[in-house]
Every structure is written in structure tokens, then in C-alpha cells.
Structure 1
Amino acid sequence: MKKILRNAVLSIVLACGINPLYAGAGHDHSHAGNGHSYESITKAEVESIAEKQLSALMNDQKIPKTWSKADILDAKKKQFKYSTEWLVRFYNTRVEDKAKQIMYIFVNLSGEVTGVNYTGK
């Protein structure tokens, strides 16, 4: 009888695996960092990310250096068709083309730049 009981317990342990037995205090089931869930970044963080993106565009000579003096108009969360993202607007009076005086930088809620344009769309 003991042999049968021992074999049954051993079978259950092997079937369930041993790793769950080691979950202790401090163990959680969050999925932060793997794309399943995350905490939204703050307005200050998104402004910093957008400023770094603006600098990178200037360093790559994709936009003129006059953008280094551009002011942040605002940083707001905006709901798009499939997601909510931060939209940061920069204003540069030194650009002659009025249609290109405002640059829009899109940042997802986890802090990744997803786009840059002059239309905000």
C-alpha cells in the first residue's frame, strides 16, 4: 500500500513539475517588460524621450539644427484607432514653411517612439 501511495505522489509531482514548489514570497505573475502589460510613463518622462528623439533627428541631419531651440507646446495622451499614445508637439518659429513649424512626436505608453511627422496623424 505504501508503495502505491508513494508512486501516486511521485507521479503527481512529476506531472505538475517541481518549479511551482519553489515559488516563495516576492514571486508574482506580472508580465512587465514582455509586452503583455506595463505601466504608462509620466508626462515628464515622455517629454524627455521626445527631446532625445528631436536631438537624434538633428544629429542624423534629418531636420535642421534650428529645432534645438524649439519649445514643447504640449504633451497629451491621444486615443487612436487601436491604441492610446502620447503626442508631443514642438514649435519652431525659425522654420520658414508654416506647415512645418510644428513637429509631432508619437510615443507609446511604454516609452517607445512610434512616429514623427508634421501633421499629427
Structure 2
Amino acid sequence: MNILIPFKTIGILVVTLSSSLYAGGDHKHGEGGHSHGPGGHSHAAPTVIDEKKAKIVAVDVVKKLVAKKKLKQDWLKIEVKATSKKKFKEKMEWVITLENTKAEKSKQILYVFLSLTGKYLGANFTGN
């Protein structure tokens, strides 16, 4: 009887290893998984967006802020006034400026901050 226990253990080990190998390198990890095989994710540096794309992202940010009721509906009709790159804490960022003349005086200029790759960093009425 003692001889069967090691064979069971070896059998379980073989089945486990076989199923792991069968899964292959391109199996998914859950619903939003990634692949380890050809065409899988890369660790390349993110692409820097251009001014046109920065404006598009900023307008999308404004739409989301309106949807979350952080901004009033009239911000949906506003176009980008200016786009520039500024350095904050040793990092360059896109600063997209929008103007809403219908808003109260202290909240007429909205600044949307994006990383150079287009990631939303924040928005405020001070520009800082």
C-alpha cells in the first residue's frame, strides 16, 4: 500500500504539469487578460500625443466632468482656447485651456492637464 501513494503523487504532478504546458504561452488571464505569445502586450514607451490629440482628449475630459456634475452643462458647448506644454515638477505636461464666458468670473477659464502621452492628470480654474 505504501508503494501506491508515491505513484498517486507522481500521477497528480504529471497531470498538473501537463495541463500547465497545454495552456501555452498565449493563454488569457481572466476577462481582460493579456498574451505572452506573439502579438501580446509590449513594454515599449507610450507614444507622445500631438496637439490635435491633446485637444480631443481635453474635450472628452470636459464631457466626463459634466457627466459627473463637476462642471455645468454649458461647458459642453465650449471649444479649446489654447494648448501648450508646460513643465511641472520636472515633467512636461499638456495644458489645454477652455473658456466659458457664461460661467461666473472666477470659473470662466478651465485648465485641463494631461501627460504628454495623453493621460488625464487633473483640471482646475487656476492653471497651477
User: Structure 2 length normalisation: TM-score?
Assistant: 0.64
Count the aligned residue pairs.
87
SS at match of 1:51: helix
Q: Deviations over 1:42-75 (max 9, x none)?
A: 1011100000000001111111001011121111
Of 93, 96, 99, which residue of structure 1 is paired with 2:106?
A: 99
2:26 counterpart of 1:42 = no
Instruction: Provide the C-alpha distance between the structure 2 equivalents of 1:92 and 1:112, rounded to a whole number of angstroms.
Output: 23
Task: Tell me the distance in 1 between the aligned counterparts of 2:100 and 2:52.
Answer: 20
SS of the counterpart of 2:58? Answer: helix
TM-score for both structures, normalised by structure 1: 0.68
Percentage identity across paired residues of the two chains: 33
Report the equivalent of 1:71.
Answer: 79
C-alpha separation between the residues in 2 aligned to 1:72 and 1:46?
10
Runs of 4+ in 1 over 3 A off after TM superposition: none
Is there any run of 5+ residues in structure 1 with no aligned partner, and where?
Answer: 1-29
Q: 1:120 aligns with which of 99, 124, 127?
A: 127
Aligned to 2:32: none
Equivalent residue, structure 2, for 1:60: 68
CA shift at 1:99, angstroms? 1.3
Question: Secondary structure of the residue that 2:118 maps to in structure 1?
Answer: coil
Unmatched 5+ residue regions in structure 2? 1-41
Deviation per CA, 1:59-101: give whole Å up to 9, x if none. Answer: 1111100101112111111111220000000000110x21100
1:80 to 81, 88, 102: 88
User: Which structure has more RCO (C-alpha within 8 Å, separation ≥ 6)?
Assistant: 1
Aligned CA-pair RMSD? 1.3
